[in-house]
Chain A
Amino acid sequence: MTAVAVALPRAGARPAPVRRSYRFELVKLLAQWRIRLLILACWVGPALLVAVISQQSSLPADTVFGRWMSQTGWAGPLVVLSFSCSYVLPIVTSLVAGDVFAAEDRLGTWRHLLVAVRSPRRIFAAKTLASLTVILLLVAGLAASGIVGGLAAVGNRPLVGLDGQLLAPAHAAGTVLLAWASVLAPTLAFAAVGLLGSVALGRSPMGLVVPALLAIALQLAQLLPLPVVVRVALPSYAFIAWRGLFTGPPQIGPIVVGVIVSLAWAVAATALAYVLFMRRDFTDAAYDGVGRRVLVQAALPLAALLAVTVGVIAVATRSPAPGSTNPSWTAPSRRRSPICTSCRPESCIVRTSRRRSYGAAPPAIRADPSSQTTEPATTGDVSCRGTSPAPQPPARRSTSSMSPQTGGTRPMVTDPRKSTASSRSTPQRVMHPTPFGSSTDWSIC
């Protein structure tokens, strides 16, 4: 008698591992010309822009650190960062995360994918990780390209902080990298909203533009005279909070709060997308998103999250240290020396917003190079406080950059080689951008 071994099929073959599904999704994403173009633009574009702008006589002085682009290579990546936070990152997340699920709807490949992977959960994980990878690749490209462009075109020189303090090249490098790292959290939040839109709206092109629309809405919100706690509770807050790294001392608290809020949005939006995805009926070929239910299933939960975040921040900031009128995360030195303690945040924002035009009368910092400290100087109803000596740009560029031809928006720093005595006897006058722009000046009030 001959025994014949028969290989019986397993009852329920195992789903494809997430690692393989992830690679599959990555291959699909990277094969799209749109993604390839984005990668090329993010890895090459900033370097070219920074290099070109740095060599021009007219610098983007209305952009944070824009005026310093010809002085140090570390200003370029910060200008790129500022621009990216406003426009590039929301668009990038729209084009990548906002389409990663909708693409399968357009191509009609969901059933094929499900049969191949055999686990909607793993498909969701793979798609999320793949889009996250591409977005991180793009952000890394923006940062690296900006840094390389700046360093190549201008050089590794000290960076003038927002309070006029000078950051040594090594310190500037670390801070620039930290600033870029801090915007990863809001980028994740926008990416998660993109995933949610992609899942909820199916093949509709609306899903593709959800992060961009959210970015526009949040920028508009930042322009409105909203209570400070509402602004801080917005997921885009960390897109501007990074500027606190360049004040003296650094304002870490707002950055931490912004990052936490952004991560909360990222987690909530991803969870909502996951729930919607797992509830989907993949046998329905006519499925085209959740339709009008998107308001209840996606928008309302995020609005609720915003409300909760506002409440938590409001409670947290109403219990500062005894005798202090500042938010609890404000730097100790700020709390010890508030510049204006009587104003309401809204009025303070209104006043400080006048400083946004740097061609007008800027806040002054009285710098005493010998003592390495500065005292706050008051100009009208705008107060500002410096904490470090005036910057001393590299000698090679100082003469030209400080010449009258550079316009009133340029720092009035004298070349130390030519007028050292003068600079010591006369307080240097340094114009610099407001630390947070009009939206976050409340943090020093």
Chain B
Amino acid sequence: MPENLAVRARGISKSFDEVVALDGVDLDIAEAQIHGLVGPNGAGKTTLLGLLLGLAVADGGDLEILGSPVRRTLSLPDRVAGFVDGPGLYPSLTASQNLAALARLRGSGSDGIGDALEQVGLTDVAHDRVRGFSLGMRQRLGLAAALLTKPRLLVLDEPANGLDPAGTRHVHRVLMGLAADGTSVVLSSHRMDDLAALCSEVTILATGRVVFSGPVGKLAAETDELDYRVRTSDPAAARRVASETPQLRVLPDDELLRRHDAEALLVRAAVPALDDLVARLVRANVAVRELAPVVAPLEAAFLALTAATNAPSEDEDL
């Protein structure tokens, strides 16, 4: 084992009647790491998060959390916290009452309530009833409830859902601070920019199987081809050079893209072919002003890896 693992799953399978939710899932999550979990709807993310929170037990395979095997429902070690499908809050209680009731339930004092609320930026509304909270405030309060336990493993499902940009940055800072202090965070989200900004590693699930698991940087390298937007000083010359570059395909003008930038050229290529294109453009005295992926690498990889199972949404997104 190269490093201490917060989560070690081998061959996890889980079915609901005839529906296979997870099929031989392997997962390693290191300590002090923010690990992203992505996948199309129905890929098995929520089921996997449920297993990590002990809400269900796998039909097959081995699951170890914080070094302890999990063989029964809700038989998790201490200091595992989080939420699935939104935080569980009681609207008739105030923010601080929600946290206090939870702290008493866990047998811990109410000392950390103020700190938890401050961490997520809800000190000002500590005595307001949750009934009046926005979705983003609820998300942050749910995170505060999880922080009360001083978790070693934090499992979060769409924690940035409903957050404004400032709130998102606030939550990012909290999560990165937790990771810096040694907490492992499993983060499920459909917001690729969040995952790319936060996660050191990601796992992509599709139809209950892991299609990729590893560092985010490795994703682009493993992905065969991506779509890139190229802006140059001479679009016509650039188009000609690109069409002559081997293993690179010039894509037809996209209406949506043209509306944003009529001068741009859209190409699909792997990284070596893209390097070749840049060299040819320089030799042809065409200045490269911009070369960027049309979609974020993580999103592109996600779409490419899950394309086989999610073709309609791929078309829509592209």
Residue B104 at the chain A interface, CB threshold 8 Å: yes
- B76–A27 contact, CB under 8 A? no
- B89–A109 contact, CB under 8 A? yes
Q: Across the interface, which residues of B come within 8 angstroms of A281, CB to CB?
A: 16, 56
- B88–A112 contact, CB under 8 A? yes
Residue A31 at the chain B interface, CB threshold 8 Å: yes
Q: Which residue of A lies closest to B107 (CB)?
A: A20
Kindly identify which residue among B68, B70, B72, B90 contacts A10, using a CB–CB cutoff of 8 Å.
B68
Q: Which of B78-86, B246-254, B263-271 contacts A (4 or more CB under 8 A)?
A: B78-86
Bound CA–CA A283/B67 (angstroms): 24
A27-B101, A28-B101 in contact; A13/B78 too (CB < 8 A)?
Answer: yes
- A109–B107 contact, CB under 8 A? no
- A107–B91 contact, CB under 8 A? yes
Residues 3-24 of B at the A interface (beta carbon under 8 Å) = 16
- B77–A285 contact, CB under 8 A? no
- A107–B77 contact, CB under 8 A? no
Residue B54 at the chain A interface, CB threshold 8 Å: yes
- A108–B86 contact, CB under 8 A? yes
Tally of A interface residues using CB under 8 Å: 37
In the complex, what's the smallest C-beta–C-beta distance from A191 to chain B, in angstroms?
21
Q: Which of B45-53, B162-170, B188-196 contacts A (4 or more CB under 8 A)?
A: B45-53
Residue B102 at the chain A interface, CB threshold 8 Å: yes
- A111–B88 contact, CB under 8 A? yes
Bound CA–CA A119/B74 (angstroms): 7
- Scan B40-67; emit 1 where CB is below 8 A from any A CB, else 0: 0000001100100111100000000011
Bound CA–CA A281/B14 (angstroms): 13
Q: Across the interface, which residues of A come within 8 angstroms of B66, CB to CB?
A: 9
Kindly identify which residue among A15, A31, A109 contacts B88, using a CB–CB cutoff of 8 Å.
A109
- Scan A20-34; emit 1 where CB is below 8 A from any B CB, else 0: 110110011001110
- B93–A111 contact, CB under 8 A? no
In the complex, what's the smallest C-beta–C-beta distance from B255 to chain A, in angstroms?
39
Q: Which of A16, A32, A112, A113 has the most CB of B within 10 A?
A: A112
In the complex, what's the smallest C-beta–C-beta distance from A220 to chain B, in angstroms?
35
Residues 96-144 of A at the B interface (beta carbon under 8 Å) = 107-120
A12-B75, A24-B104 in contact; A285/B85 too (CB < 8 A)?
Answer: yes
- A11–B88 contact, CB under 8 A? no
Q: Across the interface, which residues of B come within 8 angstroms of A32, CB to CB?
A: 92
Q: Which residue of A lies closest to B92 (CB)?
A: A31
Q: Which residue of A lies closest to B93 (CB)?
A: A31
In the complex, what's the smallest C-beta–C-beta distance from A397 to chain B, in angstroms?
47
Q: Across the interface, which residues of A come within 8 angstroms of B92, CB to CB?
A: 28, 31-33
Kindly identify which residue among A8, A11, A27, A285 contacts B46, using a CB–CB cutoff of 8 Å.
A285
Q: Across the interface, which residues of A come within 8 angstroms of B81, CB to CB?
A: 115
Helix, strand, loop or mixed for chain A's interface?
A: loop
- B55–A115 contact, CB under 8 A? yes
Kindly identify which residue among A9, A10, A118 contacts B54, using a CB–CB cutoff of 8 Å.
A118
Bound CA–CA A274/B267 (angstroms): 62
- B68–A12 contact, CB under 8 A? yes
Residues 109-143 of B at the A interface (beta carbon under 8 Å) = none
- B83–A23 contact, CB under 8 A? no
Q: Across the interface, which residues of A come within 8 angstroms of B70, CB to CB?
A: 12
Q: Across the interface, which residues of A come within 8 angstroms of B85, CB to CB?
A: 108, 111, 285
Residue B69 at the chain A interface, CB threshold 8 Å: yes
- A13–B76 contact, CB under 8 A? yes
Bound CA–CA A271/B77 (angstroms): 30
Residue B39 at the chain A interface, CB threshold 8 Å: no
- A12–B83 contact, CB under 8 A? no
- B55–A283 contact, CB under 8 A? yes
- A12–B77 contact, CB under 8 A? yes
- A283–B88 contact, CB under 8 A? no
A32-B92, A112-B87 in contact; A117/B105 too (CB < 8 A)?
Answer: yes
Residue B245 at the chain A interface, CB threshold 8 Å: no
- A11–B68 contact, CB under 8 A? yes
Bound CA–CA A32/B68 (angstroms): 39
- B72–A12 contact, CB under 8 A? yes
A31-B97, A112-B87, A285-B46 in contact; A20/B78 too (CB < 8 A)?
Answer: no
Bound CA–CA A21/B102 (angstroms): 10
- A283–B50 contact, CB under 8 A? yes
Q: Which residue of A lies closest to B145 (CB)?
A: A112
Q: Which residue of B lies closest to A26 (CB)?
A: B101
- B76–A118 contact, CB under 8 A? yes
Bound CA–CA A11/B70 (angstroms): 8
- B82–A115 contact, CB under 8 A? yes
- Scan B262-286; emit 1 where CB is below 8 A from any A CB, else 0: 0000000000000000000000000
Q: Which residue of B lies closest to A12 (CB)?
A: B75
Q: Across the interface, which residues of B come within 8 angstroms of A23, CB to CB?
A: 104-105
Bound CA–CA A15/B75 (angstroms): 9
Residue A83 at the chain B interface, CB threshold 8 Å: no
Residue A87 at the chain B interface, CB threshold 8 Å: no
Residue B152 at the chain A interface, CB threshold 8 Å: yes
In the complex, what's the smallest C-beta–C-beta distance from A99 to chain B, in angstroms?
12
Residue A284 at the chain B interface, CB threshold 8 Å: yes
- B105–A11 contact, CB under 8 A? no
- A116–B53 contact, CB under 8 A? no
Q: Which residue of B lies closest to A27 (CB)?
A: B101
A9-B152, A108-B86 in contact; A21/B105 too (CB < 8 A)?
Answer: yes
Q: Across the interface, which residues of B come within 8 angstroms of A11, CB to CB?
A: 68-69, 75, 77
- B76–A109 contact, CB under 8 A? no
- A9–B79 contact, CB under 8 A? yes
- Scan A255-283; emit 1 where CB is below 8 A from any B CB, else 0: 00000000000000000000000000111
Q: Which residue of B lies closest to A32 (CB)?
A: B92
In the complex, what's the smallest C-beta–C-beta distance from A284 to chain B, in angstroms?
7
Q: Across the interface, which residues of A come within 8 angstroms of B56, CB to CB?
A: 281-283
Q: Across the interface, which residues of A come within 8 angstroms of B46, CB to CB?
A: 283, 285
In the complex, what's the smallest C-beta–C-beta distance from A322 to chain B, in angstroms?
59
User: Beyond A12-B75, A28-B92: 6 further Cβ-contacts under 8 Å?
Assistant: A8-B67, A9-B67, A13-B77, A21-B105, A282-B55, A283-B56
Using CB atoms and an 8 Å cutoff, list the residues of chain B in contact with chain A.
16, 46-47, 50, 53-56, 66-70, 72, 74-93, 97, 101-102, 104-107, 145, 152
Identify the 4 closest CB pairs spanning chains A and B, nearest first: A112-B88, A9-B77, A12-B75, A109-B88
What are 21 residue pairs bridging A and B, where the CB atoms are less than 8 Å apart in the complex? A9-B77, A11-B68, A11-B75, A12-B68, A13-B76, A13-B77, A16-B106, A16-B107, A20-B105, A23-B104, A24-B101, A31-B90, A32-B92, A107-B91, A108-B88, A109-B89, A111-B55, A111-B85, A114-B74, A115-B54, A115-B55
